[in-house]
Amino acid sequence: MKRLRAAVLISGRGSNMMALAEAARASDYPVTIACVISNRPDAEGLAYAARHGIAAKLIDHREFASREGFEAALDRYLRAEAIDLIACAGFMRVLTGNFVAGWEGRMINIHPSLLPAYKGLHTHERVLADGAPEHGCTVHQVTAELDAGPIILQARVPVMPDDTPETLAARVLTEEHRIYPQALAMLARDIQAKTST
């Protein structure tokens, strides 16, 4: 079966992108990481991609007068690269409903909480402030509503009494790196099954 071509969207460190790229080295993984796109020039993940022979593309949102202009440039690049799937991995730009509609069912995101709990930013701080007993991460389809699309996979971690946002984030991140490659493969196999009939 032909491997699907994925673009990974990042804004910073890119550790989830690295986990996806690492998984895609297996010959039976259904996805090739075709390119890594950052909206920020200082994203560390861009250098990693370039070093690993993955097309590393900067589309700096500050160079566009509007959100729509930025998204049009992003969409053009994705279509030119014949991308089948988009994986948002620490991509910190909100995408408009118009852009999302063009990639419906083919764009996923990883979020550091057990959605629908703790949508949005600063999830680890908010979990600790609430004294919640557990936390985790979610891979979900991207829809027009922020952090609200259908859930593909989740992983849970305990919250320890002496946790700081940093220790809790690290425990969650280990699980992110485990489930994101699984979820991307699940979506790809699903699409392959639908298109091969």
The residues of the shown chain that bind ligand GAR, judged by CB under 6 A, are 10, 12-16, 89-90, 110-112, 173, 176
Q: How far is the CB of 155 from ligand GAR (least distance, A)?
A: 11
- Hey, what are 120's tokens? 């949005």
Q: Which is nearer to ligand GAR, 30 or 90 (CB)?
A: 90
Cβ proximity to ligand GAR, 30 vs 123, nearer residue: 123
Give the neighbor-by-neighbor strand order of the sheet with 55-58: 55-58, 31-38, 4-10, 85-88, 107-111, 134-141, 151-158
Examine the residue annotation and report whether 111 is marked as an active-site residue of this protein: yes
Catalytic residue among 52, 61, 111, 135, which?
A: 111
For the chain, the maximum distance between any two Cα atoms, rounded to a whole number of angstroms, is: 53
The least distance separating ligand GAR from the CB of residue 123, rounded to whole angstroms, comes to 7
d(CA 30, CA 145): 28
Distance CA 149, CA 15 (A): 23
Nearer to ligand GAR among residue 16 and residue 141 (C-beta): 16
Say which DSSP state 60 is in: -
Residue 160 Cβ vs ligand GAR, minimum distance, rounded to whole Å? 18
**Residues identified as active-site:** 111
